[in-house]
Amino acid sequence: MRCLTGNNPFKGKIIDITTPISPFTPVFPGDPKPAIERLFSLENEGFAVSRLILGSHTGTHVDASSHVLETGLPIDKLELENMMGTAIVLDFSSLKGVLTVDVLEKALKSTDISDNVSIILLKTTSSSKIQKSEGLDPLYLDESTALWIVEKKFKAVGIDSFSVDNLDSETLPAHRILLSGNVSIVECLELSSVDPGIYFFICLPLKIEGCDGAPARALLFSESEFNDV
């Protein structure tokens, strides 16, 4: 997490919750590993240009509905309105396995949230740097929880792990329910240093035509800094 300061309409620090992309960025098992190749250098050509090789779901990224739905839209057709708004960060770092409706609903009721909260961000025991092969059981959504999120008309869900689904799942039911219900999905957020609470959230994926997802830059603003904007 990195805090940026300076002139901005939110009158305060910007909390960067983006997982950086480098050759060392962990990826979902089987996905291409990122590579950054220097093609031109200041020393030789007088300018620097690099070639980037990476999967569409590298680092912090947004899933397009075409990621799992045959009739889904690509990332360049994503409704950007879904990717900005009032968000709540919920800390489930003491839990593992499935996140049930009862647990999620109880966590939301225990916080003083207003009706304009439209985005849920899940802080878990798993960060984007942790592999399931290390013996951990990352938190994930089951079908009923995903359906509840759709029914409650949230417009986006973010998580700090590789997937909102069980990593062993081959059918990705939570993805399918959320994306078919027009709920956007952001994965591999960096929330390890973020306190639970209400924030303003902005996450904009690269506009790659026809693609099933894209890396994104994700930012938070604390409530006190945006509620008068």
* pLDDT tens-digit series, residues 155-193: 999 999 999 999 999 999 999 999 999 999 999 999 999
Percent of the chain with pLDDT over 70: 86
Residue 30 is assigned to a structural domain of this protein? yes
H or E stretch at 73 = none
45 in any annotated domain: no
The range of the structural domain enclosing residue 148 comes to: 2-40+51-226
The CATH number of whichever domain residue 183 belongs to comes to: 3.50.30.50
Answer with the residue of higher pLDDT: 162 or 132: 162
User: For residue 218, what pLDDT is reported?
Assistant: 98
Nearest to 196 by CA among 111, 137, 126, 114: 111
Residue 29 forms part of a structural domain: yes
| 3-class DSSP state of 18 | strand
The β-bridge relationship of strands 84-91 and 117-123 is parallel
Residue 197, domain member (yes or no): yes
* Residue 136: CA count within 13 A, CB half-sphere: 19
Q: How far apart are the first and last CA of the chain?
A: 24
User: In this structure, are residues 12 and 222 in contact, taking their beta carbons and an 8 Å threshold?
Assistant: yes
Query: Which residues, in sequence order, are CB contacts of 152 under 8 Å at separation 6+?
Result: none
Angular region, 148: left φ>0, alpha ψ -120 to 50, beta rest: alpha
Residue percentage of the chain with pLDDT more than 90: 79
pTM of the model: 0.89
Number of domains in the chain: 1
Report yes or no on 46 lying in a domain. no
**Dist. CA 124–CA 157, nearest whole Å:** 13
- pLDDT exceeds cutoff 50 at 13: yes
pLDDT digits (tens, 9 = 90+) for 45-95: 999 999 999 999 999 999 999 999 999 999 999 999 999 999 999 999 999
pLDDT of 10 > 80? The answer is no
Q: Is the pLDDT of residue 228 over 60?
A: no
Classify residue 147 by burial, with Cβ atoms within 10 Å: 0-12, 13-18, 19+.
middle
Q: Which residues are catalytic?
A: 67
Taking CA atoms, 11 is separated from 1, 4, 35, in Å, by 19, 11, 37
